[in-house]
Chain A
């Protein structure tokens, strides 16, 4: 554990005379083998002249063989796998298809236009599920309504599953059981000799109107760069070999559309809020990149494209820090292999979207569910913006990550899960730093994960007047 390592010496080096020899000890930071493997998330040609039917077709094409295999494992190799067009009433069989949930509350532009005359403003909802939702399974040609042993509120549109049951006389399919594609195959990670850590942070929220988080953020940077604490803590900091910033580097308030509403002559001389925030970010990255390799993923509020996969932030926005080769501007979702450990994750849009359209609330639960579905973002392109791919769906997981994370969660949570074929995956929800002042450290040797909180005095907690760094 990181907290044990940094507390190994009991604080003596600060309360003694400076040593005679120049400078004191130097802690060398371990540099790790790193290979980014996010090519699948880069969009070459940006053609939007296609419909989303292709992505669903490609998804089903890719998932059908996997699910047929799972279905045979689960219900015996002689299970009858049918297409919907060959379905016979009353016959027990298995069907592979894409789920679609018809939701009364799902916002629809067509509905808004048609009801314009007498439309009451709808209250903003946290959840868009209701009692009248219907679950429908689609294959290449047809669709059928589902009922029975399948939980409507947990399922989301776009997930490909296999169902087992029979069609009843009323044309609905009674589900007796269903299965998901489950975890993809994993390459075992190498055994490491020593503890090394990767720091995961998300939601820096720069440029927000209240600058509470700035002191916490500076403490974080100082801790990583080894300018905080005594020699024990500094030697601990040297074991942090990489920092990953998972999205929402800028705050939502930098996207204020105030300027767009006002007439131009009033806003001529005002500067967009994001300009100052990016400058701040550049200075922050400069401090980090000078000392440790940094991966920067964009998030929902960052200045890059909105649709997933989000492309890396442009280098020219960071004139100070981009000269360092240690600064890696990467895509969202991002995948990389750090010292043999495969990291995969997003800035959290996929998880937040599923949270809205299902009864699941905990980010960790949703994260595990997407891994079991073998799909990063099942609700894209239905309710989550997504590039219209046609050849293959890049969000389908082909190889199982060792660490699977999502950013901008309300709280820190982590869990080590085991797959059916012995896969071992650490799930981490990285908390939003601006509101929780918490980052997390992943130990590459043991796959243990622990939060690091920075508390400083802020307007909320007056009684806690001294700042402290706790692990």
Chain B
């Protein structure tokens, strides 16, 4: 029994390692062309915060309405969303990546 188990796991490990290696090789080239500048990281951080806001289930569903509308609804019902999110949204009111939720590309 034990020997058989050992054999199977061994073979699995080999397969998985092989896949990971392939993935690792593929990944690095894609971020490379982006030059990581100061503004880029700030933007990335802001977008991360907004995505976290999208994923907070206490504020209700996020598809179909803008982030600001969702923030205002949460405020209206006394759920105290972060003021920071609102400031962020008011600053950048034209960029769809800021305005709309994570799933904006999906039809309904």
Task: Give A residues with C-beta under 8 Å from B.
Answer: 49-51, 53-54, 57-58, 61-62, 65, 140-141, 390-392
> Are A54 and B64 CB-contacts (below 8 A) given A391-B69, A391-B72?
yes
- Contact assessment for A140 and B58 in the assembled complex, using a CB-CB cutoff below 8 Å: yes
The answer to whether B60 and A58 touch across the interface, beta carbons within 8 angstroms, is yes
Partner pick for B79 among A49, A53, A61, A390, CB 8 A cutoff? A61
Known: A51-B64, A54-B61, A58-B60. A390 touches B108 (CB 8 A): no
A57 touches B60 (CB 8 A): yes
> For residue A65, which residues in chain B have a CB less than 8 angstroms away from its CB?
78
Which residues in B have their C-beta under 8 angstroms from that of A61?
60, 73, 77, 79
| Chain B positions 29-78 with a Cβ under 8 Å from a chain A Cβ | 57-58, 60-61, 63-65, 69, 72-73, 76-78
Q: How far is the CB of B60 from chain A (nearest CB, A)?
A: 3
Tell me the B residues contacting A by CB distance below 8 Å.
57-58, 60-61, 63-65, 69, 72-73, 76-79, 108
Q: A140-B58, A390-B69 are in contact. Are A50 and B76 (CB under 8 A)?
A: no
- CA A392 to CA B61, docked complex, whole Å: 13
Q: Give Cα A141–Cα B64 distance, bound, in whole angstroms.
A: 19
Question: B55 → chain A, closest Cβ, in Å?
Answer: 13
CB distance from A442 to the nearest CB of B (A): 34
**Which residues of chain B have C-beta atoms less than 8 A from A49's C-beta?**
64, 108
Most buried by B among A51, A58, A390: A390
Instruction: Tell me, in angstroms, the Cα distance from A54 to B62 when the chains sit together.
Output: 8
Give the chain B neighbours of A53 by CB distance below 8 A: 60-61, 63
Q: Is the CB of A54 within 8 A of B65?
A: yes
Are the CB atoms of B60 and A54 closer together than 8 Å?
Answer: yes
Task: Please pick, from B57, B76, B78, the residue contacting A141 in the complex, using a CB distance under 8 A.
Answer: B57
Q: Using Cβ atoms and an 8 Å threshold, which residues of chain B touch A51?
A: 61, 63-64, 108
Whole-angstrom distance between the alpha carbons of A53 and B63 in the complex?
A: 9
A140 touches B65 (CB 8 A): no
Q: Within 8 Å CB of A58, what residues of B?
A: 60, 73, 77
Bound state CA distance, A65 and B77, in angstroms?
A: 10
For A390, the closest partner residue in chain B by CB is: B65
Return the chain B residue nearest A391 by Cβ. B73
3 shortest interchain CB distances as A-B pairs: A57-B60, A50-B64, A61-B77
State A141–B60 Cα separation when bound (angstroms): 10
Chain B residues within 8 Å of A141, by CB: 57
Most chain B CB inside 10 Å of its own CB: which residue of A51, A53, A57: A57
Other than A50-B108, A54-B60, give 17 A-B pairs with Cβ distance below 8 A.
A49-B64, A50-B64, A53-B60, A53-B63, A57-B60, A61-B73, A61-B77, A62-B77, A65-B78, A140-B57, A140-B60, A141-B57, A390-B64, A390-B69, A391-B76, A392-B73, A392-B76
Residue in B58, B60, B76 whose Cβ sees the most chain A Cβ within 10 Å: B60
Which of B61, B69, B76, B78 lies in contact with A57, CB distance below 8 A?
Answer: B61
CA separation between A53 and B61, bound complex, in Å? Answer: 7
Give bound CA distance, A297 to B21, whole Å. Answer: 70
Distance between Cα atoms of A141 and B56 in the complex (Å): 11
Residue of B nearest to A64 (CB): B77
Complex Cα distance, B107 from A49, in Å, reads 9
Q: Which residues of B contact A392 (CB under 8 A)?
A: 73, 76-77
Query: How many whole Å from B30's CB to the nearest CB in chain A?
Result: 33
Nearest opposing residue in chain B for A47, CB measure: B64
Q: B108 to chain A: which residues have CB within 8 Å?
A: 49-51
